[in-house]
Amino acid sequence: MAGGEDKNSREEEDETPPPPHHLFEVICRGKEDNAYAVREALEKDDQDRQTILELTDSSGMTPLMHAAWKGKPTVTKMLIDMVRECHPVRACDA
C-alpha cells in the first residue's frame, strides 16, 4: 500500500461507534430530575433491565454515572435501587 498505510488501520478509522442507548439521552436531556421519564424509557425497552443498567457509553459511563454527573438525585437514587434489585447483597454470616 502506498505511503505505508495499513489496511487494518484504515478499517478501524471507518468504523463509527454505535449510537448510545436512548436512556442516556433521557437522563441527560433538560435540567429537570425526571425519574418518571427514565422509568418509562426503561419499561419501553425490550432488553432486560440489568443489561440496560450495565450499558456504557463511549467514555465508559453507565446510566447511573450519568444521572449522578448531571446532578439528578431522584434519578440517581432510582437507578441505585434498580441496580440493587438486579444485584442483591447478602448479609455475611458472622
Residues found in the chain: 94
Q: How far apart are CA 49 and CA 47, in angstroms?
A: 6
Please tell me the predicted confidence (pLDDT) of residue 86: 85
Q: pLDDT band for position 72 (50/70/90)? A: very high
CATH of 18-86, one of 1.10.20, 1.20.120, 1.25.40, 1.10.287: 1.25.40
Average pLDDT, whole number, for the chain?
A: 80
Whole-number pLDDT of residue 82: 92
Q: Structural domain boundaries of the chain? A: 18-86
Buried b (16+ CB within 10 A) or exposed e, 48-71: eeeebbeeebeeebbbbbbbbeee
Q: What mean pLDDT is predicted for residues 31-52?
A: 88
Q: Is the dihedral of CA 27, 35, 67, 17 positive or negative?
A: negative
Mean pLDDT computed over 62-77: 94
